[in-house]
């Protein structure tokens, strides 16, 4: 290559780097179509300085549901898989637990027995696996699990059952000055252990279900003990209050996949003085992932939010035809 060609190449590279018109496609795993265009168009419109729709960076709050929106929720929500694995580990050191009716019901997958008598047995399982230890102990346990536990069908770690197209949206939004938050019914303490590694979302941007921790001393060191007191379930009409409580600003973008996200889609997009955007992931891909809406096998019922989408102007992406790829390449496989 002559020096002169080299210089031309450098000039072209620089031109490409500084010109947004020549930027690479930020959403390569999305098929061309209305859903992809709606994301690109909204972000372009609200980040253009001087435009009437301009949103200052401080107010660029985007909220994402987790189960079914950023990662799978089948065959069961992954936090339940964690709880069952955790229960099995506890039995190794405390074999008497096997005789506990709640433990028996959980290991047998006996849902009626778990939820009878005001969810008595289910709450006992949650208490055994999510309370009574320090926050550091819980974090270590989740960490061990998330690094090794594998999905029963998808041939990859649970932490790799995440949607590549949504990872691209997260990166694209952050590159455009948005703050990306998780707002999920999952446990905050559970998600915060791995959310930064997996999604690039740090703990302080994870809003989830939670219950009180208690300040205490273990010898000469302060610790926080997890309890089940004042449980707050961050789902359905609980999501907008949690957004207010934790973030304190009204979002301008909201991504969900179920009726559990309807209230936060409404709070984001209905009567918001700022331009706003809502998107629903519709699970229509039984082959590459799962197909469900009105009758999910696990969580994720989607009826009302889907029916409201046209009148609300919410984008619906149908996984089967909207997404070129569903998952990122798995780092290892068996």
Give the interface with a second copy as residue ranges (CB under 8 A): 58, 135, 179, 188-189, 192, 196, 202-204, 206, 210, 212-215, 220-222, 224, 230, 237-238, 240-241, 244-249, 263, 266-267, 270-271
In the block, tokens 């080299």 appear at: 6
Nearer to a second copy, 29 or 269 (CB): 269
Nearer to a second copy, 41 or 137 (CB): 137
Nearer to a second copy, 236 or 318 (CB): 236
In whole angstroms, the minimum distance from the beta carbon of 317 to a second copy comes to 24
Distance CA 89, CA 198 (A): 25
Nearer to a second copy, 87 or 263 (CB): 263
In whole angstroms, the minimum distance from the beta carbon of 206 to a second copy comes to 7
In whole angstroms, the minimum distance from the beta carbon of 224 to a second copy comes to 5
Query: And the tokens for 222?
Result: 């302060």
* Cβ neighbours for 248, distance < 8 A, ≥ 6 positions apart: none
In whole angstroms, the minimum distance from the beta carbon of 173 to a second copy comes to 16
Nearer to a second copy, 95 or 222 (CB): 222
Q: Which residues pair with 326 in a beta bridge?
A: none
Distance CA 258, CA 302 (A): 4
In whole angstroms, the minimum distance from the beta carbon of 279 to a second copy comes to 18
HSE of 51 in the Cβ direction (CA atoms, 13 Å)? 14
In the block, tokens 């009437």 appear at: 52
Q: How far lies 77's CA from each of 13, 184, 299, in Å?
A: 45, 12, 7
């Amino acid at each position: 290559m002559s020096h002169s060609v080299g210089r031309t190449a450098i000039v072209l590279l620089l031109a490409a780097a500084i010109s947004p018109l020549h930027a690479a496609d930020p959403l390569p795993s999305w098929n061309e179509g209305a859903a992809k265009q709606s994301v690109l168009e909204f972000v372009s419109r609200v980040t253009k300085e001087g435009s009437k729709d301009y949103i200052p960076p401080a107010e660029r709050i985007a909220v994402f549901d987790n189960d079914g929106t950023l990662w799978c929720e089948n065959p069961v929500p992954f936090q339940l898989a964690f709880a069952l694995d955790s229960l099995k580990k506890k039995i190794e050191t405390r074999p008497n637990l096997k005789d506990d009716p709640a433990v028996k019901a959980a290991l047998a997958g006996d849902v009626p027995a778990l939820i009878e008598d005001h969810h008595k047995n289910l709450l006992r399982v949650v208490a055994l696996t999510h309370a009574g230890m320090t926050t550091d102990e819980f974090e270590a346990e989740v960490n061990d699990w998330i690094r090794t536990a594998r999905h029963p069908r998808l041939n990859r770690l649970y932490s790799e059952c995440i949607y590549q197209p949504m990872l691209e949206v997260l990166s694209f939004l952050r590159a455009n000055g948005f703050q990306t938050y998780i707002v999920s019914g999952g446990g905050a303490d559970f998600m915060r252990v791995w959310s930064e590694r997996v999604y690039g979302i740090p703990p302080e941007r994870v809003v989830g279900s939670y219950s009180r921790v208690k300040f205490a001393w273990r010898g000469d060191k302060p610790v926080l003990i997890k309890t089940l007191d004042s449980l707050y379930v961050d789902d359905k009409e609980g999501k907008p209050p949690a957004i207010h409580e934790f973030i304190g600003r009204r979002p301008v973008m909201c991504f969900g996949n179920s009726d559990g996200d309807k209230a936060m889609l409404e709070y984001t997009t209905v009567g918001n003085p700022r331009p706003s955007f809502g998107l629903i992931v519709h699970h229509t891909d039984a082959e590459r992932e799962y197909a469900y809406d009105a009758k999910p096998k696990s969580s994720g019922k989607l009826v009302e939010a889907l029916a409201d989408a046209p009148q609300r102007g919410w984008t619906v992406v149908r996984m089967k035809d909207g997404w070129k790829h569903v998952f990122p390449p798995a780092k290892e496989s068996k």
